[in-house]
A and B are shown apart, each in its own frame.
Chain A
C-alpha cells in the first residue's frame, strides 16, 4: 500500500508560490507545523481561502508576505481582537480582499 504519511516539511513542499490554498485558519484546530513550514519555504502570491473564517493562520501567512489575495467571510482573532497583519496589509493596499458577505 502506498505510504501517504509525510512530514510537515514534505507537505509544505507541495505548496508552490501562486497556489490557491484552502486552510482551516480560524482560531483552533489548525495545521500549525505545516503553516510554519510554508512560511519558512518563502512561498509568495498565495490565494488564501480561509475555511471557515480566518484567524491566527491567515494573519500569520499574510504577515509573512505569503499571500496576494484572501477570500474570506471574516478575519479576526476572536476574543483577542482584530488581526493586526491583515489590517496592515489591507490598509496599505498590499492585500487583495475577495470578501464574501
Chain B
C-alpha cells in the first residue's frame, strides 16, 4: 500500500464507485466531489460504459445547464443520481434545508434544489454523508425535502438505493421500508456503527459482511487520473484532501 494513509473520503469514494453499474447514465449535482470521483474511478475500472454527468465538469456532454439535467431525469434518462443530507432517518427521509424550527432555524442550509424530483425521477439514488453521527442519522428529520417512500405520490420511478458513510454502507430495504446496515468497513465494528446511529439498523440475527479493503489499483487510480479530473471541478476540495 502507498505510504500516505488512506483518507476516510478515499475509502468512501471507493465504496461509492463499486456501487456503480456498468452502462449507467450517472449524474452528480452541486457540492458532490465524492460521487464525482467515484464515477471517474468506476469508469476506469469495472464500468467503462457509464456516462458520468458531473455538474461543473468542462467535459460533460450537457450544454444547457441544470435545465437539461432535470429534463433528462424527468424523461427517465438518468439511471443513477447521488444525494446527501444533513439529517437522514430510518424511513429514508432526508433533510437539506433546516435544523430546528423552519421559520427560526438553528441552522439554515442551502435547500433541496430539485432533490425531491431527482429521487423520484432518476432510477436510483445513492446517498453519501461525510459524517456518521446520531445528529445526522436521527429518528425523524426536522424537515422532509424528499423521501424513499411517499404514499401521497401516485407514481415514481426512483428508489433510495444505498447510503455510504465514513463508518458503513447502509441500504434501503424496500420490503422492510427502512434503512438497514449492509456492510461495515474493515476494522469498524457493528457496535461502533450502531452507537453512532440514532435508530436501529436491523442488525439482530443478521450476518453483516465486511467491505473488501481498498486495493492498490483503486488507490493509485484515485490518486492519479481520478484526482487530475476531479481537480478541474473541485480544486479546493482536492487541495484539502490531497495537499
Q: Which residues of A contact B (CB under 8 A)?
A: 52-53, 72-76, 78-80, 82-83, 86-87, 90-93, 97, 99-101
Interface size on B, residues (CB 8 A): 28
Given contacts A52-B65, A52-B66, A93-B103, contact A76 B30 (CB under 8 A): yes
Complex contacts, B84 vs chain A, CB 8 Å: none
Given contacts A73-B111, A74-B111, A79-B31, contact A101 B117 (CB under 8 A): yes
Cα distance A92–B100 when bound, in Å? 13
Total contacts A-B at CB 8 Å:
59
Most chain A CB neighbours (cut-off 10 Å) among B109, B110, B146:
B110
Those 3 A-B pairs whose CB atoms lie nearest each other, nearest first: A74-B113, A76-B110, A90-B108
Q: Which residues of B contact A (CB under 8 A)?
A: 30-31, 65-67, 97-98, 103-117, 145-146, 234-237
| Interface contacts beyond A91-B106, A91-B108: sample of 7 additional A-B pairs, CB < 8 Å, sorted by A | A74-B110, A75-B111, A79-B31, A79-B235, A82-B110, A83-B110, A90-B98
Is the contact region of chain A dominated by helix, strand, or loop, or is it mixed? mixed
B167 CB, nearest partner CB in chain A, Å: 24
Complex contacts, A80 vs chain B, CB 8 Å: 236
* Interface pair B65/A91, CB less than 8 Å apart: no
Cα distance A93–B113 when bound, in Å? 21
B112's closest neighbor in chain A, by CB? A101
A86's closest neighbor in chain B, by CB? B108
B97's closest neighbor in chain A, by CB? A99
A34 CB, nearest partner CB in chain B, Å: 21
Cα distance A87–B145 when bound, in Å? 18
Given contacts A79-B237, A93-B103, A99-B97, contact A73 B30 (CB under 8 A): no
Complex contacts, A73 vs chain B, CB 8 Å: 111-114
